[in-house]
Amino acid sequence: MTNRLLIDQAEHETRVALIEGDRVVDVVIERQAHRSAVGNIYLGKVSRVLPGMQAAFVGVGLGRNAFLHADDARVLPRARAAAERLSREAAEAAAASAAAAAAAAAAVTAALEPDEDAEEPEVAASLAPVPHARPRRLTIGDCVADGDQIMVQVTKDAVKGKGARLTANISLPGRHLVFTPFQGGVGVSRRIESEAERQRLHDIVQPLAEAGEGGFIVRTAAEGATPEELQADAQYLRTLWADLEASAARGGAPRPLHLDLDPLLRALRDQAQEGVAEILVDEPVAYERALVFARRFMPHLEDRIRLWDRPEALFEVFDVEEVIAEALQPRVRLPSGGFVVIDQTEALTAIDVNTGRFVGEADQEATVLHTNLEAAEVIAHQLRLRNLGGLIVIDFIDMERAENRQKLYDAFRAAMVGDRAATTVLPMSELGLVQMTRKRGRESLAQVLTEDCQACGGTGRVKSAETVAYEVMRAARRLLLRPRPGKVAARALTVMAAPEVAALLTEPRLGMVEAVAELTDAVLEVRADPALARDAFDLVERD
């Protein structure tokens, strides 16, 4: 199976598609006017602390203030100082409690000390355990204050009126390693399956982590890397972090400290590692940039990068354009004839599975299981392709047998293994629902390529012509019957409406215009205006 990375570079737009075998599995589209900020590091300024939400708004220069939760702020200097103070206070409180408990125990022991003539007590007094004081959890007020200048990194782009999501727990990705300044230790990518290779890499990187503060995550690209390559990567990342700290110390927030790679080079760093045999770039300048980057940082990729200079469009030859168009549709066909409906809303993504016209198995349970198993594979693919994130609820078709529900759950978990985004899949409920989360960093494909419908206001539905017709008649009745002090009531009214609405208004069988005319003793004229949206109309009075 040949995997390909396709890069379609236009003047102000970069499109990247990853093809595994003959299937497009990942599409990234970025435009210069809406570049993703995920991974960028800024010196931000706290503009408002929200204790009720345990969060703060931080200005980083992206227009709308970004959002920083307390859980993502506990590595900041103010937070670390507060943690030390609280820990010290807790230790002092524990010592005081221990002393008080010891004194109380001594008093009880003395009180129970028998006289010389007394018999030995049958039951010894039980002493209360020494209380253990723990420092309270840090609040957002412990972490930041209004006006603080703090170093933060974007973890999620701004979406639909919500500012970008930030973290102070910085991570710096390199060629083979990711440096985590505030987290020690060594982690190895789960995509490296060989236990021997995992252990080898861990043994090489462990001393590098112990040589200074912070820790490292070994990336998939490090498989087979030499100790010298890993050491060079670690040194580069530590130097970069030192430069960022020095720059942040100079102040001047808000301003960028470190911008992540552009879409072209980021694709080479993040997506060209997964067994990609060929990287096709359709623009000469972008091709040269890719070669220069590969020679310096990823020499093993250089001979895989090729310029696509054929007259046919790259994305059309490999059917990517068709896949993108289909990914914008809510319905996805299953091989057996069933289908899946994907409904992306602001709160969550709901996915419904239907058998459709498929009735091919011997019994209903077998038919449902067959459809559900097909849907599990398709849904896992569509989540990645469409880049759907956040809360996702999947309504599989109900099955009576517990072993079939478990089989479906296991199949879906297996289908999600290839997804690079962090996912959590909960067991199937008795109603056949699977709840899951998928980490959302950048916008979904639909959010990048579409906008809210101007006719329906983003609801996905518009008023029927009949509904608008009745609204027109109610408005006409109110207008003609309203009091007009010092003026004679209007005797005529011209109604301007969309053609389909005008047709209903003048339909003799409905008698809408006639009813209002009789009630108001006025003459109504209806005119069709093709320029009007269905729910728009205009009423013009004539004396």
Look up tokens 């075998």; give the residue: 21
Angle, vertex CA 124, rays to CA 119 and CA 126, nearest 5 = 155
Residue 154, pLDDT above cutoff 90: yes
Per mean pLDDT, which range of 98-102, 113-117, 405-409 is the poorest? 113-117
For residues 428-448, average pLDDT:
89
Percent of the chain with pLDDT over 70: 90
Residue in 344, 530, 533, 538 with CA at minimum distance from that of residue 454: 533
Structural contact between residues 164 and 37, judged by C-beta atoms closer than 8 angstroms:
yes
Give the pLDDT band (50/70/90) at residue 541.
confident
Give the whole-angstrom CA distance, residue 60 versus residue 253.
7
For residues 98-108, average pLDDT:
71
Structural contact between residues 202 and 191, judged by C-beta atoms closer than 8 angstroms:
no
Q: Give me the pLDDT at residue 462, please.
A: 82
Structural contact between residues 494 and 529, judged by C-beta atoms closer than 8 angstroms:
no
Q: In angstroms, what CA-CA distances link 419 with 271, 274, 334, 412, 438?
A: 12, 11, 20, 12, 9
**Each residue's pLDDT tens digit, 38-55:** 999 999 999 999 999 999
- Residue 492 tokens read as 């005529």
Residue 354, pLDDT above cutoff 60: yes
The values of phi and psi at residue 14, to 5°, are -120, 130
Give the pLDDT band (50/70/90) at residue 488.
low
Structural contact between residues 42 and 256, judged by C-beta atoms closer than 8 angstroms:
yes
Collapsed DSSP state (helix, strand, coil) of residue 130: coil
Look up tokens 């759950």; give the residue: 409
Q: At a CB cut-off of 8 Å and minimum separation 6, what does 236 contact?
A: 174
Amino acid at 36: S
- Residue 290 tokens read as 């890719």
Which pairing describes strands 339-344 and 349-354: parallel, antiparallel, or unpaired?
antiparallel
Q: At a CB cut-off of 8 Å and minimum separation 6, what does 362 contact?
A: none
Structural contact between residues 65 and 281, judged by C-beta atoms closer than 8 angstroms:
no
Collapsed DSSP state (helix, strand, coil) of residue 518: helix
- Residue 302 tokens read as 């250089």
Give the pLDDT band (50/70/90) at residue 2.
confident
Give the whole-angstrom CA distance, residue 190 versus residue 223.
11
Residue 393, pLDDT above cutoff 90: yes
Residue 132, pLDDT above cutoff 60: no
Amino acid at 261: L
Q: In angstroms, what CA-CA distances link 91 with 9, 77, 268?
A: 60, 21, 50
Report the Cα 398 to chain-centroid distance in Å: 29
Handedness of CA 376, 380, 382, 386 (dihedral sign): positive
Domains defined for the chain, CATH in brackets? 3-34+262-320 (3.30.420.60), 170-255 (3.30.230.10), 329-447 (no CATH), 465-542 (3.40.1260.20)
Q: Give me the pLDDT at residue 313, please.
A: 93
The values of phi and psi at residue 123, to 5°, are -120, 125
Give the whole-angstrom CA distance, residue 412 versus residue 435.
12
Listed in sequence order, the DSSP H helices in 438-528 are: 445-449, 465-481, 499-505, 512-520
Q: What is the DSSP letter of 314?
A: H
Residue in 228, 227, 219, 226 with CA at minimum distance from that of residue 175: 219
Q: Give me the pLDDT at residue 123, please.
A: 43
- Residue 268 tokens read as 């080479």
Give the whole-angstrom CA distance, residue 302 versus residue 406.
45
Structural contact between residues 305 and 278, judged by C-beta atoms closer than 8 angstroms:
no
Higher pLDDT pick, 520 / 502: 502
| Maximum mean pLDDT: which of 398-402, 468-472, 539-543 | 468-472
Angle, vertex CA 246, rays to CA 214 and CA 148, nearest 5 = 90
Give the whole-angstrom CA distance, residue 229 versus residue 291.
20
Give the whole-angstrom CA distance, residue 478 versus residue 482.
6
**Each residue's pLDDT tens digit, 253-279:** 999 999 999 999 999 988 887 679 999
Higher pLDDT pick, 4 / 492: 4
Residue 401, pLDDT above cutoff 70: yes
**Each residue's pLDDT tens digit, 168-179:** 999 999 989 999
Listed in sequence order, the DSSP H helices in 211-327 are: 227-249, 263-271, 284-297, 314-317, 320-327
Give the H or E element holding residue 183: none
Q: How many CB atoms lie within 10 A of CB 175?
A: 19
Structural contact between residues 494 and 527, judged by C-beta atoms closer than 8 angstroms:
yes
Residue in 253, 45, 43, 256 with CA at minimum distance from that of residue 148: 45
Residue 57, pLDDT above cutoff 50: yes
Give the pLDDT band (50/70/90) at residue 84.
confident
Give the pLDDT band (50/70/90) at residue 346.
confident
Give the H or E element holding residue 157: none
Q: Phi/psi class of residue 458: alpha, beta or left (left: φ > 0; alpha: ψ in -120 to 50)?
A: left
Give the pLDDT band (50/70/90) at residue 243.
very high
The CA-based dihedral angle spanning residues 101, 103, 105, 108, taken in that order and rounded to the nearest 10 degrees: -140
For residues 477-495, average pLDDT:
78
Sequential DSSP letters for 66-79: EEEEGGGSTTSHHH
For residues 434-463, average pLDDT:
85
Its pTM stands at 0.77
Give the pLDDT band (50/70/90) at residue 121.
very low
Give the whole-angstrom CA distance, residue 42 versus residue 350.
35
Q: Give me the pLDDT at residue 110, please.
A: 64
Give the whole-angstrom CA distance, residue 18 versus residue 5.
5
